[in-house]
Amino acid sequence: MSTMIKMVRAFAAVAVVAAAAPALAAGNPPHIERQQWSFAGPFGTYDRAQLQRGFKVYQEVCAACHGLRLVAFRNLAEEGGPSFTEEQAKAIAAEYTVEDGPNDDGDMYERPATLADRFPSPFPNEQAARASNGGAYPPDFSLLAKARAAHRGFPWFVFDAFTQYQEQGPDYIHALLTGYEEAPACLGDEFSGYYNKAFLGGSITEEACKDEHLTGGPIGMAPPLSDELVEYTDGTPMTVDQYSADVAAFMMWAAEPHLEERKKTGFRVMVFLIVFAGLLYFTKKTLWRNVEH
């Protein structure tokens, strides 16, 4: 009994440390609110209309700085994607130019993009991107929704595992795009950049700000969105909150275009395993029914 009590106490101590470790490591991490996503959960699916709106926000606002190098134009018309028609995807591709070659003379040349091409980068190289953005390198959007996530500490990640909630990335993107605020006065006149309360890469270390429990920190990207910046023709509200949700959903699709297929396959596998386990149980009962134990 005493051994059992010691084990329980040891487990409780580990749980407390696990709960406190993220907070100690991050200081005062930002609170990222969970959003309602159509693709969340084991049976979630993408909202095609939302993906098309998110692509429009990306194309008209984000594409000036952020690439989408792992996504091909043909993906826009594939099953499970934004459900553009092939003609619409071809028209979108024709708006871009890509470098090709060499030709017969050994020279590289530019041509209109086709469905087989991937989205070209807005900059020829990383150095040019940094030079155009004050030294900051705008990340590519292809996998960003899976690479950026505010992982929750103990015990919340356990509940996320059981509920199969994997949308921390889109949650963070939405929080970041809606998290711009006026810089606190305690940061002083020397503060440069923009203050974002949800920015995970920021840090507030000034003594004057410790009592204010600030989260987030300075970010080099100016607020990219404003109300009525992108025109929606389906009656959807043209607000920063809606734009942020739509482009976050589009980025999730870009990072995981086969999400719906994966979830369907996973469900079939679980059904198979349950049936298989039942067959094994009844087989065992049949084989060992007349054997004395």
Contact 82, 52 (CB under 8 A): yes
Check whether domain 16-71+119-263 has CATH 1.10.760.10, yes or no:
yes
Q: Look at residue 9 in the predicted model and tell me its pLDDT.
A: 44
Round to whole Å and give the CA distance between 49 and 81: 10
Q: Extract long-range pairs of 127-134: CB within 8 Å, 24+ residues apart.
A: 129/65, 132/65, 133/65, 133/220, 133/221, 134/220
The answer to whether 222 and 229 are in contact (CB under 8 A) is no
Distance CA 255, CA 147 (A): 9
List, for residues 174-210, the tens digit of each pLDDT value: 999 999 999 888 777 777 778 999 998 766 655 556 6
Q: What are phi and psi of 109, to 5 degrees?
A: -145, 165
pLDDT attached to residue 1 = 43
CA distance 35 to 84: 26
Q: 66 vs 4, 25, 98, 119, 154, CA distance in Å?
A: 55, 30, 16, 10, 34
Who's near 113: CB < 8 A, 6+ residues apart? 73, 93, 94, 95, 96, 97, 98, 120
- The answer to whether residues 70 and 118 touch, using CB atoms and an 8 Å cutoff, is yes
Residue 207 CA to residue 187 CA, distance in Å, equals 9
Residue 78: is it exposed, middle or buried by C-beta count within 10 angstroms (0-12/13-18/19+)? middle
- The low-confidence residues of the chain, meaning pLDDT below 70, are 1-28, 202-212, 293
Distance CA 192, CA 184 (A): 12
Residue 184, SS3 per DSSP: coil
Task: Summarize pLDDT for 278-293 with one digit per residue, the tens.
Answer: 999 999 999 888 887 6
Q: Tell me, what's the pLDDT at 5? A: 45
* Amino acid 13: pLDDT: 39
Burial class (CB in 10 A: 0-12, 13-18, 19+), 58: buried
For the chain, give percent helix, strand, coil, nearest 5. 45, 5, 45
How confident is the model at residue 21, as a pLDDT?
35
What pLDDT was estimated at residue 134?
Answer: 86
Q: Which of 146, 125, 120 is nearest to 137 (CA)?
A: 125
Tokens of residue 15, six digits = 């749980």
Say if residues 230 and 247 touch (Cβ distance below 8 Å): no
Residues 6+ apart with CB under 8 A from 202: 196, 216, 217, 218, 219
